[in-house]
Structure 1
Amino acid sequence: MEKGEEFGPWLARQLKLAGKTQAELAEELGLTRAAVSAWITGRSTPRPTVMVDIAKALGTDVGTVHTRTTDTQAGLPVTWYHRPGYLDGGRDLGNAAAFAFDADVQVLARETCQNSLDERRQNGRPVRVCYTLHELTGEALEDFRDAILWNDLFPHYSAVSENAGNQKVGRVVDAGVRDMYEKGRLILLRVDDYNASGLTGDDYTDGKFAAVVRRQLESLKSGSGAGGSYGLGKATLWATSALGLVLINSTLSESHEGRTERRMIGRLELPWREVDGKPYAGPAWFGRPDPDSPGAEVARSWWADEETAARLHLTRESDEPGTSFLIVGAHDVAILDEKSSDADDESVDVDVEGSEDTHDIRRMHRRLVKALGRDFWAAMTGGGGRLPLLEASVRTMRNGDVVVPDEQVDPSAEQPARTRALRAYYEGTTVERVTEAGQVAARSVPLRLPLAGGARGTLGTHQATLLVTEATGDADAPKNQVHSLRGNRMTVRKAGVANVPFGSNPFQAVLLVGEAAGDSAPFAKEAEDFLRAAEPPEHDRWGQTEELTLRWSPSAYRRINALTYEVNSAIRELVARPKRSSREGGEALRKALTVKKARSKVKAPTGPVVPVLTELDATIGDDGEWRIAAEVSIPRGDEITPMVPVAQLEVRSGGRPKLDWAELVAVEGCDVEDGILRFTPGARRAKFRGSTDVTSHTVRTALTRLVLELRTGKGE
């Protein structure tokens, strides 16, 4: 049984919920007000016989007074509280934080699973995250709408729909309400985590509960290896709801008000609206009116019973600490694209009661599994006596019936080559170079950490760990890529490797940086802190950020570029096939052959020759720039014409927009002077590399194609 709350604070709250004063209770009990005050302040406790009278006065049973693990039923009923409009007439037409992410279940999986990893209890066991898609129709839908007091909410949704044409959030909400009524269905998506901290702390003061439920842009993370740092990830919960509604049930790792189980609250995100002539600012909360608030209007969390949790579809599987988030009206914008591409596909799954509806939740199920395996395969991998940090599963239901059974995400099925590499590292079976199929090569690569505050010099060198193995088993995954991760082992950066030696076998690589490289790695915590600051809100790359500039320097990101260069160089060396000796295996063949050398020589041209671009590798960098590595063939000649590399964007019509160079560097057989390639006399080939200036890009790089031309010094 749970340990009950202290009698004084418990009694004080019950009196507020019942709307009674200490003097009124004293009068009902036939005692002095000083006696009741002594109970409230903890100076004394009532005798068992008096507790019977207290129970009668509060309208509850004596067991509730003795155990004090729940509130009495004398309090105000659970209801919705809508924040009033601002007195100065200001209007918020939506939560700006929600616009940082797409309404995509794969984005939701990345952000919520990262948050659960950050809140994992430090007991050596993994955090377990379960995703449940549940479609409601008919009576099940009506029962749920009654439980959330839909009739009280409907006037607010109607007000938003009336102004939907002028508000982006309003249009989404209007579409969500119409979808529910026209199709007679509602999709719930519940995210449960277990062995996590839960939403601890008071409703209003600093704590995890207030950070998630009451505030925006606040991140309270436990541990230096935490993934999040902006406080934006929670916004994906509301962004994924077409109705802007999320309900929460949390089991706490630390008791609050003497309780740990079924701490409930709901939050609604709507734009400014006017209902019955009264303006409302935006958010609303579903809870019990707080007697301490003016007029007892502000809703706070409450401790629900099992029946209420069941009606709200928030029943948790066990009493293990953690939180359940129920996204009401879940939608996935990517499904719309899939529907258009499947318009002529006759092989889609169908359901007797509604093929389109059930197909939606099946697709969402598949996308969740794919996203979890793609981004969290490393966190789900263990080996060598080391347990994984995460277990994840997805299931799909319809009106309580199973549509797709509980599916445990298997990292070895989603990322077989990389999972094999990481497990070999944990088990200590890596090699210096891959010579047989299935082997994993390990190499240390340096990350030279800058001094904070813009000071010149290096704090120290962190040794990250690079793992490389053949891409066997990865039928659909992109080959020749590096997945980079740090402390919580979520894949942060995915990047291809350019200029891979010709004839190399396809490979997959993993870079373990910061605390992911192990506690014994030098400067692991410092590297963790540095890279965390180099991540944008999406946590999908490392590069220049405002925090990196403020805490270190505007050029600090170059340390990350240097790490990338070291990683790519090490990979090219590891995957290159070893050169065969001139004597190896060919002696007998050479003795049997006679090679006749040609006597005639080709006469070199006497005039200037023009080099020709023969090879080009181009990738998109961390900051959105094009990065190129090019090779030039130089004909024989007395004079080699200098050339100007020109980068352009491919367009359907009109002239190609020209890009500026942020960097242009000679590698072999040439020099770079003021953007002009001048070639070494007698050279037959030359190599150079460069990166474009992002500020000269007129279109987002991922939506473009690059054209590289070599022009003469006159611009021809």
Structure 2
Amino acid sequence: METGEEFGPWLSRQLRLAGKTQAELAKELGLTRAAVSAWIAGRSTPRPTVMTDIAKALGTDVGTVHTRTTDTQAGLPVTWYHRPGYSDGGRDLGNAAAFAFDADVQVLARETCQNSLDERLTENGRPVRVRYTLHELTGEHLDAFREAILWNDLFPHYSAVSELAGNQKVGRVVDAGVRDMYEKGRLVLLRVDDYNASGLTGDDYADGKFAAVVRRQLESLKSGPGAGGSYGLGKATLWATSALGLVLINSTLSVPHEGRTERRMIGRLELPWREVDGRPYAGPAWFGRPDPDSPGAEVARSWWADEDTVARLHLGRDGEEPGTSFLIVGAHDVASLEGDSADQDEKPRDEEGSEDTRDIERMHERLVEALGRDFWAAMIGGGGRLPLLEVSVRALRNGDEVVPETMVDPSVEQPSRTRALRAHYEGTTVDRLTEAGQVAIRNVPLKLPLAGGTRGTLGTHQAVLLVTEAASDKDTPKNQVHSLRGNRMTVKKATVQNLPLGTNPFQAVLLVGEAAGETAPFAKEAEEFLRAAEPPEHDRWGQTEELILRWSPSAYRRINNLTTEVNSAVRELVARPRRGRGEGGEALRKALTVKSRPKAKAPSGPVVPVLDGLDATVGDHGEWLITAEVSIPRGDEIVPMVPIAQMDVRSGGRPRLDWAQLVAVEGCEVEDGTLRFPPGTRRAKFRGATDVSSHPVRTTLTRLVLELRAGKGA
């Protein structure tokens, strides 16, 4: 018979759960205390006949004692433990980590799917499978679920929070969630299951993945530069998406804990400070079995549940494959109310005409959209390379299917980029686009700085740029570059500016770090550098505190230079080839007679270039990004000019901004911040990016003035 935990530790815990001592068990069995002590210490094991007596003493069956894959049901029942209020009178009016994110199922999808990718078991080479299940409960199904989570024990705490609703945000959210459940007679559950993942391994309290997710805040145990998360904030989206602040967890472990792997259960409730029956509570609460080793056996720890309990809590998993299921109780999608006013008539509304944030069909649609937008690259294989991810979404009502399970297909959600990445994996790319359906490739350099603020370059990493035409109307917005690194989640989405006239719509992909290939030079170093350049949302690369501390305040300029190189390469790849002088229109030219005018006499003195066009946008980090065109009168000598960037103000002198980057595009050269023009030049173009550290005011609150001034000695 297959056994689980070692007999000694298992028996020791059962005695604590049952409130028995070793001496009391020995007396019931008619044995000496030394015999029981020897079992617990692992020096011996009881005979099979004694196993039957042990089962009877513990109030369980003999099979449970033999297999030891679950706790006996004797002893302390599963209950809620609410953390007592602080003895110094301090109050937490909500989990600060949850305020970093909106109640948005698309944000939830991004954070949870990223975490599942980071926890993928890589030894077998298979993808991690993630499934999102929306489940609306009503009537008797809702009543049965509330009974399973001991709702009557929780209700006084929710009532106390509702009384504080007018004073703080969390109270208002919780009050609205409870009212919706009672007034509408419904409750939406959103479950996130992953398979072929590590599961919540480790002890309940000591360092490990379980404690990092369930017990602690702002702790990330992600290892390796290719991991997506680094702040320990992503798990907070689970509780932020619950209007009741409640998440239940069932984990199948990849590494046994207490000799077991299946049905490790725990629940966590996030509420603000409250007072119930005259007793203050700090905030969080846990749903589990009381820990007999804690003072007064009050603290709840995880427990090994039976299959019936798992089913009643709607946390059943498919098979024995490792991974974790998170059940968000009272899920809502406030961000679904945002968007264009033209869509307002199509948004789901409740009976009173208010926009419904708990419509499971709308939430299903938004989950599929977000997963296809952010994780399309992780779902793609080719050229002997397997996908990293498989993901699906389904919707149920009282156990019946409302929306069939939808497998997110990258070729449907991102057709052009899917074609581009597969072509790269299969080695069918080209150097330049000449026919429909082709994928052009170009290496783009990322010069990595030395760590610790040391001047110089560690080395040059070659990122991979892929460009292809936009395949369909679904490929929107067009003319964008999706940038990603090792876990293949889209980090940055940016539109390429200043494209040549007549450019065909395209889509582009930038593979950086380990996404560029394991053999790419400095791939791991690029991963580490870019990971440090990501904010908690992981939606861009730029200036961060970690980047400053580990590298330097100017390290972000290396990323700006990469962006400039990428945009330049894209413009070159998508530009239409120029016609030769003898190509096309020859008959028309012969049919026309053009009378030429005498050439104007060129001025003999120096000529001054004039600013003729300016395109300016605000970059990801608050800098001004400009592209300027200059017209130059005909002359033998052209005056050098200095571009001056200033902030527009209502009165007084305009503050001058420093340039972080100033580069020539055509018709000029940049030398120490001065534009110099070859003789005979009539038009020129240059680009620049201002240095954010020189901005006295946030860029979005100001306007830009650009002037050309004569250079020194002119």
Question: Residue in 2 aligned with 1:185?
Answer: 186
Residues 498 and 617, structure 1, Cα contact 8 Å, conserved in 2:
no
Question: Residue in 2 aligned with 1:623?
Answer: 621
Question: Residue in 2 aligned with 1:238?
Answer: 239
1:214 matched to 2:215: yes
Residues 666 and 687, structure 1, Cα contact 8 Å, conserved in 2:
no
Question: Residue in 2 aligned with 1:515?
Answer: 514
Kindly report which structure 2 residues correspond to 1:289-438, keeping only aligned pairs within 5 A, or say none: 289-337=290-338, 342-345=343-346, 360-438=359-437
TM-score by length of 1: 0.91
Question: Residue in 2 aligned with 1:74?
Answer: 74
* Letter in structure 1 aligned against 2:213: V
DSSP-derived class of the 1:199 partner: coil
DSSP-derived class of the 1:492 partner: strand
Task: Tell me which moved more, 415-424 or 87-96.
Answer: 87-96
Question: Residue in 1 aligned with 2:64?
Answer: 64
Please report how far the alpha carbon of residue 681 of structure 1 lies from its aligned counterpart in structure 2 after TM superposition: 7.7
Question: Residue in 2 aligned with 1:163?
Answer: 164
- Deviations, residues 177-213 of structure 1 (Å, cap 9, x unaligned): 2222222221111111111111111111111101100
Residues 643 and 678, structure 1, Cα contact 8 Å, conserved in 2:
no
Task: Tell me which moved more, 390-399 or 163-172.
Answer: 163-172
Q: Distance in 2 between matches of 1:76 and 1:631?
A: 77
Question: Residue in 2 aligned with 1:151?
Answer: 152
Q: Distance in 2 between matches of 1:354 and 1:265?
A: 38
Q: 1:677 to 1:224 in 2, by over 3 A?
A: closer
Q: Distance in 1 between matches of 2:638 and 2:448?
A: 46
Please report how far the alpha carbon of residue 275 of structure 1 lies from its aligned counterpart in structure 2 after TM superposition: 1.2
Residues 201 and 208, structure 2, Cα contact 8 Å, conserved in 1:
yes
Question: Residue in 2 aligned with 1:494?
Answer: 493
1:665 matched to 2:662: yes
Q: 1:416 to 1:366 in 2, by over 3 A?
A: same
Q: Distance in 1 between matches of 2:687 and 2:378?
A: 36
* Letter in structure 2 aligned against 1:130: R
Q: Distance in 1 between matches of 2:72 and 2:244?
A: 32
Q: Distance in 1 between matches of 2:442 and 2:202?
A: 45
Please report how far the alpha carbon of residue 451 of structure 1 lies from its aligned counterpart in structure 2 after TM superposition: 2.0
- Deviations, residues 370-414 of structure 1 (Å, cap 9, x unaligned): 100000000011112221110111111122222211111110111
Task: Tell me which moved more, 108-117 or 384-393.
Answer: 384-393
Please report how far the alpha carbon of residue 237 of structure 1 lies from its aligned counterpart in structure 2 after TM superposition: 0.5
Residues 488 and 515, structure 2, Cα contact 8 Å, conserved in 1:
yes
Question: Residue in 1 aligned with 2:523?
Answer: 524
DSSP-derived class of the 1:443 partner: strand
- Deviations, residues 586-645 of structure 1 (Å, cap 9, x unaligned): 66766x456544234457799999966544333442313231112133456899897875
1:691 matched to 2:689: yes
Residues 622 and 698, structure 2, Cα contact 8 Å, conserved in 1:
no
Please report how far the alpha carbon of residue 552 of structure 1 lies from its aligned counterpart in structure 2 after TM superposition: 2.0
Residues 415 and 475, structure 2, Cα contact 8 Å, conserved in 1:
no
1:128 matched to 2:129: yes
Q: Distance in 1 between matches of 2:660 and 2:546?
A: 24
Q: Distance in 1 between matches of 2:663 and 2:427?
A: 40
- Deviations, residues 507-531 of structure 1 (Å, cap 9, x unaligned): 1111111111111112211211111
Residues 238 and 244, structure 1, Cα contact 8 Å, conserved in 2:
yes
Q: Distance in 2 between matches of 1:568 and 1:339?
A: 29
DSSP-derived class of the 1:80 partner: strand
* Letter in structure 1 aligned against 2:32: T
Q: Distance in 1 between matches of 2:349 and 2:168?
A: 36
DSSP-derived class of the 1:430 partner: coil
Q: 1:559 to 1:641 in 2, by over 3 A?
A: closer
Kindly report which structure 2 residues correspond to 1:568-583, keeping only aligned pairs within 5 A, or say none: 568-583=567-582
Please report how far the alpha carbon of residue 685 of structure 1 lies from its aligned counterpart in structure 2 after TM superposition: 2.7
Residues 76 and 290, structure 2, Cα contact 8 Å, conserved in 1:
yes
Q: 1:708 to 1:420 in 2, by over 3 A?
A: farther
Q: Distance in 2 between matches of 1:324 and 1:563?
A: 39
- Deviations, residues 271-312 of structure 1 (Å, cap 9, x unaligned): 111111111111100000000000000000011111111111
1:18 matched to 2:18: yes
Q: CA RMSD in A?
A: 3.2
* Letter in structure 2 aligned against 1:632: V
- Deviations, residues 214-270 of structure 1 (Å, cap 9, x unaligned): 011111124431111111100111111111111101111111112211111000111
Q: 1:540 to 1:639 in 2, by over 3 A?
A: closer
Q: Distance in 1 between matches of 2:281 and 2:653?
A: 50
Please report how far the alpha carbon of residue 150 of structure 1 lies from its aligned counterpart in structure 2 after TM superposition: 1.1
Q: 1:388 to 1:528 in 2, by over 3 A?
A: same
Residues 2 and 69, structure 1, Cα contact 8 Å, conserved in 2:
no
* Letter in structure 2 aligned against 1:478: P
Q: 1:700 to 1:184 in 2, by over 3 A?
A: farther
DSSP-derived class of the 2:378 partner: coil
TM-score by length of 2: 0.91
Q: Distance in 2 between matches of 1:670 and 1:450?
A: 29
Kindly report which structure 2 residues correspond to 1:228-307, keeping only aligned pairs within 5 A, or say none: 228-307=229-308
Q: 1:541 to 1:47 in 2, by over 3 A?
A: same
Please report how far the alpha carbon of residue 344 of structure 1 lies from its aligned counterpart in structure 2 after TM superposition: 4.0
* Letter in structure 2 aligned against 1:236: T
Q: Distance in 2 between matches of 1:457 and 1:236?
A: 40
Segments of 5+ residues of structure 2 without an aligned counterpart are none
- Deviations, residues 407-448 of structure 1 (Å, cap 9, x unaligned): 111101111100000000111111111111001111112222
Residues 133 and 397, structure 1, Cα contact 8 Å, conserved in 2:
yes
Q: 1:545 to 1:606 in 2, by over 3 A?
A: same
Question: Residue in 1 aligned with 2:41?
Answer: 41
* Letter in structure 2 aligned against 1:466: L
Q: Distance in 1 between matches of 2:148 and 2:341?
A: 36
Q: Distance in 1 between matches of 2:478 and 2:42?
A: 67
Q: Distance in 1 between matches of 2:57 and 2:582?
A: 102
Residues 659 and 693, structure 1, Cα contact 8 Å, conserved in 2:
no
Residues 69 and 260, structure 2, Cα contact 8 Å, conserved in 1:
yes
Please report how far the alpha carbon of residue 500 of structure 1 lies from its aligned counterpart in structure 2 after TM superposition: 2.0
DSSP-derived class of the 1:628 partner: strand
Q: 1:657 to 1:201 in 2, by over 3 A?
A: farther
Q: 1:664 to 1:165 in 2, by over 3 A?
A: same
Q: 1:73 to 1:169 in 2, by over 3 A?
A: same
Q: 1:690 to 1:486 in 2, by over 3 A?
A: same
Q: 1:700 to 1:34 in 2, by over 3 A?
A: farther
Q: Distance in 2 between matches of 1:344 and 1:207?
A: 48
* Letter in structure 2 aligned against 1:125: R
* Letter in structure 2 aligned against 1:557: Y
Question: Residue in 1 aligned with 2:103?
Answer: 103
Residues 662 and 689, structure 2, Cα contact 8 Å, conserved in 1:
no
* Letter in structure 2 aligned against 1:81: Y
Question: Residue in 1 aligned with 2:469?
Answer: 470
Residues 659 and 692, structure 1, Cα contact 8 Å, conserved in 2:
no
1:202 matched to 2:203: yes
Q: Distance in 2 between matches of 1:585 and 1:384?
A: 42
Query: How many percent of aligned residue pairs carry the same amino acid?
Result: 80
Q: Distance in 1 between matches of 2:352 and 2:552?
A: 60
* Letter in structure 2 aligned against 1:144: F
Please report how far the alpha carbon of residue 502 of structure 1 lies from its aligned counterpart in structure 2 after TM superposition: 2.5
Q: Distance in 1 between matches of 2:629 and 2:530?
A: 33
Question: Residue in 2 aligned with 1:142?
Answer: 143
Q: Distance in 2 between matches of 1:672 and 1:428?
A: 39
Q: 1:414 to 1:256 in 2, by over 3 A?
A: same
The partner residue of 1:633 within 593, 611, 631 is 631
* Letter in structure 2 aligned against 1:195: N
Task: Tell me which moved more, 304-313 or 704-713.
Answer: 704-713
Question: Residue in 2 aligned with 1:9?
Answer: 9
Q: 1:268 to 1:655 in 2, by over 3 A?
A: farther
